[in-house]
Amino acid sequence: MIESLNDFLFQYKYVFKSLYGLLYYSFGLSVFLHSRHFSRLVLAKSLPWLGGFGILTALYEWGNVFIPLHGQVQGLHDQTIFFIFQQLILGLSLVSLFQFGIDMLRPFGTHFRWVRLVPTFVLILWLFGPFIIGFSLIPDIKDWISFTAGTAARFICIPASVVATVGLIHQQRRQIKPMKLPFMDVMTRCAAGGLAAYGLFGGIFGPKSFFKPGIFLTEESFTDFVGLNPHLFMALAGVVLFIAFTRLLEIFDIETEVMVRNMEQEQVIANERERMARDLHDGALQQVYASGLLAQSLKKRTKSENLSEADRLINTINEAILQLRDFLPRKKSEVTSVDLVGALQPKIEETKQYIQVSTTWDIENLPPFSIDQARHLTAFLNEVMSNVIRHSKSQEMDIKIQYLEHLLTIEVRDYGEGISSGAEQGYGLRNMRERSKLLGAELKIDSERHHGTVVRLELLIKEGNL
């Protein structure tokens, strides 16, 4: 049966390769069409590279069909220029997959920004080595094609597939799993499996090369051992990738629905606040105003020795009026953005009066924030610092504020008692979680009893959100 299948594939090899290329072209095009620029998911920003990988892989495979057919029809014996372009397309397709994987590993630390340049560096090495120097040293064009394709398979395809698989799993745990969508988790793992299979059959068992292991682990050795060509398994990996990513990209539609639902909830909350403000203005605030007027009237008939008490009463009522007026909606300010550092710095300086604070700022190119964002971030940091002072029994606190790759990170670490696993969640923790939810940020709290607590807020910043 296996021999019959191999004979069938060999007899219709051009048809198989055409369909194989069409499969990866459909996969790449589908990824492009489902891309979302407004999404907060890192996957959305990396998809163009994955789409490029699919389309360029299709062009490379179609080259295996059209170059021989073109030579037969036109009667051409020297098709070197076509083979050169085909190998260049192969290198670009694998580097696109590599870049997709690197981008999926974001965010990078300050000292690891150079990692994004690794695929470009690998491509340059491959171009100047096997591609250019190899072309000048290897006289036979078929040997050169095998050499360039073999080195691309071992030195680009394998690391690209590994990095892409790890990056996809990383984002699945970091952003997709918290959305509590089990089906999307399954599709992400299937997509990662498809990428790993592509690297296994297309990288390890690639064309024959002049060095180990490319001398022994080749397409021919795999076919002799298993009985089937590895391209058949690469086609199956393409089917898995097409189905898995087509379903996985539905997560952007779900994300949009969640955003619309949140906007509707915010509108309901705003309307309710407006109603409460009207009731407060027409009810309680008017009563307090009346109390203030009555207190001033009583002051005029108060004996001189009791005037200080009357003044304190009037001042207390005035303070109550100011506090109540703070709950009323104000006219929209002409100021639409504020400097976050200017908003956070005074709170941190005030905290230094009660505890030793070490502050690290890594905020190069930090954009201005909206008034609401700055208010929530300031209130969040103030809540965290207040909890450290009141509950941790720590003598010092480390605050790190970092902005890198459009990701704002606020991390507060103390060295106190920590949070007991059985402790009841108080207002402070609830307030922090509500603030992070309103910001659309991710909150992480790591605590170990008697070893302190680390509170980390991660907010992905996009221009449309400022």
For residue 351, the SS3 value is: helix
> To the nearest whole number, what is the mean pLDDT of the chain?
81
- DSSP for 225-266? HHSS-HHHHHHHHHHHHHHHHHHHTTHHHHHHHHHHHHHHHH
Of these ranges, 192-206, 321-335, 414-428, the one predicted with the greatest mean pLDDT is 192-206
DSSP helix/strand/coil, 120 = helix
What percentage of the chain exceeds 90 in pLDDT? 19
107: closest CA among 408, 444, 359?
Answer: 408
Give 179-214 pLDDT, tens digit per residue. 888 888 899 999 999 999 998 888 877 776 666 665
Residue 335 has pLDDT above 50, yes or no: no
Tokens (6 digits) for 417: 């008692």
204-221: burial string, b at 16+ Cβ within 10 Å, e else: bbbbbbeeeebeebbbee
Torsion on CA atoms 436, 438, 442, 448, rounded to nearest 10 = 30
Distances (CA, A) of 90 to 28, 148, 202: 15, 9, 12
Give the residue with greater pLDDT, 369 vs 224: 369
**pLDDT tens digit sequence for 106-115:** 766 656 678 8
Positive or negative CA dihedral for 91, 110, 447, 343? negative
pLDDT over 90 (residue 398): yes
The per-residue DSSP string of 273-338 comes to: HHHHHHHHHHTHHHHHHHHHHHHHHHHHTS-GGGHHHHHHHHHHHHHHHHHHHHTSPPPPPS--EE
Distance CA 88, CA 59 (A): 11
CA distance 240 to 27: 10
Residue type, 306: N
pLDDT computed for residue 461 by the predictor: 81
pLDDT at 109: 60
Report the pLDDT value the prediction gives residue 54, as an integer from 0 to 100: 92
**Which residue shows structure tokens 């008939």?**
301
Q: What is the pLDDT of residue 393?
A: 84
Q: What is the pLDDT of residue 371?
A: 79
- Give dist(CA 243, CA 235) in Å, integer: 12
Predicted local confidence at residue 194, as pLDDT: 92
Q: Report pTM.
A: 0.61
Q: Which amino acid is at 313?
A: L
- Residue 38 CA to residue 50 CA, distance in Å, equals 18
Q: Which residue has the tokens 């379903």?
A: 247
Q: Which residue has the higher pLDDT, 464 or 427?
A: 427
* Structure confidence at residue 327 (pLDDT): 65
Where b means 16+ CB within 10 Å and e means fewer, 147-170 reads bbbbbbbbbbbbbbbbbbbbbbbb
Q: For 46-94, write each residue's pLDDT tens digit.
A: 889 999 999 999 999 898 888 887 767 666 556 788 889 999 999 999 9
In the three-class reduction of DSSP (H, G, I as helix; E, B as strand; rest coil), residue 79 is classed as coil
The share of the chain scoring above pLDDT 70, in percent, equals 85
d(CA 214, CA 47): 31
Q: Quote the pLDDT of residue 204.
A: 79
Between the alpha carbon of residue 324 and those of residues 14, 332, 376, 431, the distances in Å are 79, 18, 20, 21
